[in-house]
């Protein structure tokens, strides 16, 4: 009996040693790090460019971060194909690439502005359906240009430009509040919702675009071409309708509670040149909505906290009244940003803030009566804004060099 149990245990262990039946070497794949979608040509709907890692160039080191010391050609190679859908372009690209495209490491999806204006609702199905795809891909819209030009772009610090762009966006989200990360799952959820429209950060290629994909561009201290974050794309019914710039974009971030940090530059009393820079790094936004006489009333409460980063005003910060005045000015600035952001969205009748979803959660019965014509109701909504800013620190010194008044 003991021998039978012994052999049964051995036999059961064999089932754990089967290995990976569908295992393939990394050299069998073309690893895609970014995808760019532009309008097609010759009767085709899309022209899609795939940024593929040149493993030979990166063999000198650096690993996953994209940094390396290899010198065998450019760090990435671009393959482009046309088709009436994304899957067709993938199949057509396999006629050019020596290895099958592999999307498990894709970091970025770039959409040309012309494609975004025509609509992205039918663009994302393949990306969500692919078993190797990722829903945390960062989505960006290429402003005033083609996505392919950024797919070809060679970046100076990160050898793979897809990693460079994604990290630039994360830094901007942390320090400016005027751009932020929007991933594929968020865009799909917004497109599927009746009470929320997508927002996607924009990027632009600045300088000599012909030099952007040349090795010489990254061999000089002053770049001939560079990328720059540029506005936030505002969508309505899946189509790009307008761009939000600077402080309006920051107002949206305040409302959505997406801010991680931002700088407020305030003017000094009696001077147009002297300013105070207040860096805010803690935020809490609470939103509520109710309906009065068939008209939505939206309330936004913002609490922010920060410190003085720079000051060339001769203010006496040892006087609590001066700190209070700076806090009041900050409140007014934030209110203005929020109000301008809402006015812009109301003018386009695009609920990019998700107030419709909020009403659905708080009052489902009222939402059912308004959802068919929600864009019109949102455009006429009354807005109530309350802001409280607290300046906690003044930095390593209190007063500036001129004598305080």
| Contact between residue 353 and residue 256 where contact means Cβ atoms under 8 Å apart | yes
The token duo for 190 is 């917004």
The token duo for 390 is 């607290």
Which among 250, 236, 226 has a CA at the least distance from the CA of 121?
A: 236
Question: Looking at the predicted structure, is the pLDDT value of residue 404 above 60?
Answer: no
The token duo for 40 is 């097609």
Instruction: Compare 286 and 226 and report the one with higher pLDDT.
Output: 286
- Long-range contacts: 24-30, Cβ < 8 Å, 24+? 26/55, 27/55, 27/99, 28/99, 28/100, 29/99, 29/100, 29/101, 29/102, 30/79, 30/97, 30/98, 30/99, 30/100, 30/101, 30/102
Query: All domains of the chain, ordered by start, with CATH?
Result: 25-244 (no CATH), 255-405 (3.30.300.210)
Name residue, tokens 């970091």. 107
How many other CB atoms are there within 10 angstroms of residue 331's CB atom? Answer: 17
What gap in Å lies between CA 90 and CA 85, rounded to an integer?
9
Query: What's the mean pLDDT when you consider all of the chain?
Result: 88
What is the DSSP code (8-state) at residue 183? B
Mean pLDDT of 187-196: 92
Mean pLDDT of 143-166: 91
Residue 72 confidence class, pLDDT cut points 50, 70, 90: low
Which among 135, 120, 232, 192 has a CA at the least distance from the CA of 357?
A: 192
The neighbouring-strand residues paired with 36 are 49, 110
The token duo for 316 is 């006496």
| Contact between residue 160 and residue 53 where contact means Cβ atoms under 8 Å apart | yes
**Per-residue pLDDT tens over the stretch 319-347:** 999 999 999 999 999 999 999 999 999 99
Percent of the chain with pLDDT strictly greater than 90:
64
How many other CB atoms are there within 10 angstroms of residue 14's CB atom? Answer: 8
| Contact between residue 90 and residue 82 where contact means Cβ atoms under 8 Å apart | no
Contacts of 259 (CB under 8 A, 6+ apart): 177, 250, 253, 280, 283
**Per-residue pLDDT tens over the stretch 352-393:** 999 999 999 999 999 999 999 999 999 999 999 999 999 999
Give the pLDDT confidence score for residue 22 in this predicted structure: 62
Give the pLDDT confidence score for residue 62 in this predicted structure: 44
Which among 399, 300, 305, 372 has a CA at the least distance from the CA of 341?
A: 300
| Contact between residue 261 and residue 178 where contact means Cβ atoms under 8 Å apart | no
Mean pLDDT of 61-83: 67
**Phi/psi at 357 (5° precision):** -60, -40
| Contact between residue 17 and residue 29 where contact means Cβ atoms under 8 Å apart | no
Cα 194 to Cα 286, 344, 356, distances in angstroms? 21, 19, 7
Question: Looking at the predicted structure, is the pLDDT value of residue 313 above 90?
Answer: no
What gap in Å lies between CA 235 and CA 350, rounded to an integer?
7
Burial class (CB in 10 A: 0-12, 13-18, 19+), 6: exposed
Which among 50, 153, 60 has a CA at the least distance from the CA of 102?
A: 50
């Amino acid at each position: 009996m003991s021998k039978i149990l012994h052999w049964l245990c051995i036999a059961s262990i064999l089932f754990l040693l089967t290995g990976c039946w569908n295992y393939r070497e990394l050299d069998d794949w073309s690893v895609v790090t970014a995808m760019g979608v532009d309008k097609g040509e010759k009767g085709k709907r899309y022209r899609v460019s795939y940024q593929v890692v040149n493993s030979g160039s990166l063999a000198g080191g650096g690993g996953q971060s994209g940094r390396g010391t290899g010198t065998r050609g450019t760090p990435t190679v671009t393959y482009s194909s046309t088709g009436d859908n994304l899957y067709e372009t993938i199949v057509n690209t396999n006629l050019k690439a020596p290895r099958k495209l592999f999307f498990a490491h894709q970091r970025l999806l770039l959409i040309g502005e012309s494609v975004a204006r025509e609509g992205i609702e039918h663009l994302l199905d393949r990306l969500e359906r692919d078993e190797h795809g990722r829903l945390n891909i960062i989505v960006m819209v290429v402003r005033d240009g083609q996505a392919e030009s950024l797919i070809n772009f060679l970046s100076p610090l990160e050898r793979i430009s897809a990693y460079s762009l994604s990290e630039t966006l994360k830094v901007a989200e942390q320090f400016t509040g005027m751009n932020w990360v929007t991933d594929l799952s968020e865009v799909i959820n917004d497109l599927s919702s009746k009470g929320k429209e997508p927002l996607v950060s924009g990027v632009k290629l600045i300088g000599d675009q012909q030099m952007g994909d040349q090795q010489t561009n990254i061999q000089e201290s002053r770049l001939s071409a560079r990328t720059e974050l540029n506005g936030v794309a505002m969508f309505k019914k899946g189509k790009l309708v307008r761009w939000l710039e600077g402080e309006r974009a920051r107002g949206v971030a305040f409302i959505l509670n997406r801010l991680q940090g931002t700088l407020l530059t305030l003017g000094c009393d009696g001077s147009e040149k002297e300013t105070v820079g207040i860096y805010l790094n803690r935020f809490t936004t609470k939103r509520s909505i109710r309906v009065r006489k068939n008209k939505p009333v939206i309330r936004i409460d913002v609490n922010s906290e920060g410190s003085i980063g720079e000051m060339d005003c001769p203010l006496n910060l040892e006087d609590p009244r001066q700190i209070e005045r700076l806090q009041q000015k900050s409140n007014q600035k934030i209110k203005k940003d929020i109000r301008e952001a809402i006015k812009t969205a109301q003018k386009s009748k695009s609920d990019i803030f998700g107030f419709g979803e909020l009403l659905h959660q708080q009052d489902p019965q009222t939402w059912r009566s308004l959802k068919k014509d929600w864009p019109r109701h949102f455009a006429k909504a009354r807005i109530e804004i309350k802001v409280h800013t607290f300046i906690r620190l003044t930095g390593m010194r209190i007063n500036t060099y001129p004598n305080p008044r």
